[in-house]
């Protein structure tokens, strides 16, 4: 007898970042957020850098490994255009090349630790800097210093900050970049660990900006440290 049961409904459309599995602490995950593939290797790297007993040397080595993965993932989100080359065999190869120029901008001081990872994959990349601190009077994030490539408005910007806690500094940094003419959609924020609340606030304010993060943690404590986190990234990295 012919099967007359109705066909099952088609699966719902998958969001662009559906490969993510580390969404437990932020569900639904904003579609502009991309986490690294949550492999056992990645978890092992995070376990080392989270461990308070880890030596400074190991912290540097293993956080650099994660940063390298994050930068590579960030580059995956840059637009490309068709590019045809001739190979030494005389054949043509129809490939692609990056569409535009990029630069890095590190949020001082912890973001500086991510510059080497960017330079490893983008030789002679220009890197700007931005220093944002809490204004003692207003308690709001305040711009203290910035230095950008003079043509930053025409570049894609990889914004570097390892820890996204409340999101205050990162949001101020994006505002400053936009004041310098960089459109929101040309900024890619690269981050090691994010708090769910910081990530949500950040993505709500800048929905067109892509966020590449390695891990979304449980939340913030009363001192605005990420939990479980890894403590103060700058202190762990620079020992000061
Ligand atoms: N910055 C850090 O270095 N660690 C946190 O947990 C939050 C902000």
User: Percent of the chain having pLDDT more than 90?
Assistant: 83
Q: Which residue has the higher pLDDT, 28 or 49?
A: 49
Instruction: Identify the band that residue 19 occupies on the pLDDT scale cut at 50, 70 and 90.
Output: very low
Cα distances from 187 to residues 119, 133, 162, 206, in angstroms, run 18, 21, 16, 10
Indicate if ligand 1 lies below 6 Å from the C-beta of 206.
no
Ligand 1 centre distance from Cα of residue 201 (Å): 17
Tell me the mean pLDDT in the region 54-83: 97
Model's pTM, two decimal places?
A: 0.89
- Say which range, 5-19, 37-51, 113-127, 183-197, has the weakest mean pLDDT: 5-19
Instruction: Identify the band that residue 184 occupies on the pLDDT scale cut at 50, 70 and 90.
Output: very high
Structural element, H or E, at residue 131: strand 127-134
Residue owning the nearest CA to atom 2 of ligand 1? 232
Atom of ligand 1 lying closest to residue 235 CA: 3
- Tell me what ipTM this predicted complex has: 0.95
The CATH class of the 33-77+101-238 domain is: alpha beta
Whether the predicted pLDDT of 24 surpasses 80: no
Residues 107 and 130: beta-carbon distance below 8 Å: yes
Atom of ligand 1 lying closest to residue 220 CA: 6
Instruction: Identify the band that residue 101 occupies on the pLDDT scale cut at 50, 70 and 90.
Output: very high
Residues 192-224 pLDDT 10s: 999 999 999 999 999 999 999 999 999 999 999
Mutation choice for ligand 1 from 110, 223, 237, CB with most ligand atoms inside 8 A: 110
Q: How many CB atoms lie within 10 A of CB 175?
A: 16
Whether the predicted pLDDT of 21 surpasses 90: no
- Say which range, 1-15, 16-30, 178-192, has the weakest mean pLDDT: 1-15
Instruction: Identify the band that residue 157 occupies on the pLDDT scale cut at 50, 70 and 90.
Output: very high
Cα distances from 126 to residues 104, 105, 149, 150, 190, in angstroms, run 6, 8, 7, 10, 16
Indicate if ligand 1 lies below 6 Å from the C-beta of 165.
yes
Q: What is the pLDDT of residue 138?
A: 82
């Amino acid at each position: 007898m012919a099967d007359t049961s109705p066909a099952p409904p088609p699966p719902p459309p998958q969001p662009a970042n559906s490969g993510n599995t580390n969404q437990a602490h932020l569900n639904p995950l904003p579609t502009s957020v991309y986490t690294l593939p949550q492999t056992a290797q990645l978890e092992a790297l995070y376990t080392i850098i989270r461990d308070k007993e880890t030596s400074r040397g190991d912290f540097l080595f293993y956080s650099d490994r994660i940063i390298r993965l994050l930068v590579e993932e960030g580059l995956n989100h840059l637009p490309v255009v068709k590019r045809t080359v001739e190979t030494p065999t005389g054949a043509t190869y129809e490939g692609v090349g990056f569409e535009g120029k990029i630069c890095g901008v590190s949020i001082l001081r912890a973001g500086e630790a991510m510059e080497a990872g960017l330079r490893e994959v983008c030789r002679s990349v220009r890197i700007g800097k931005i220093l944002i601190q809490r204004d003692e009077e207003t308690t709001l994030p305040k711009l203290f210093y910035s230095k950008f490539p003079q043509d930053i408005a025409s570049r894609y910007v990889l914004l570097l900050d390892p820890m996204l806690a409340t999101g205050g500094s990162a949001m101020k940094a994006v505002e400053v970049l936009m004041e310098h003419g960089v459109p929101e959609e040309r900024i890619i924020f690269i981050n090691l660990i994010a708090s769910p609340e910081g990530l949500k606030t950040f993505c709500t304010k800048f929905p067109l900006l892509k966020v590449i993060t390695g891990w979304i943690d449980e939340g913030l404590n009363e001192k605005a440290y990420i939990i479980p986190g890894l403590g103060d990234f700058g202190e762990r990295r620079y020992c000061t």
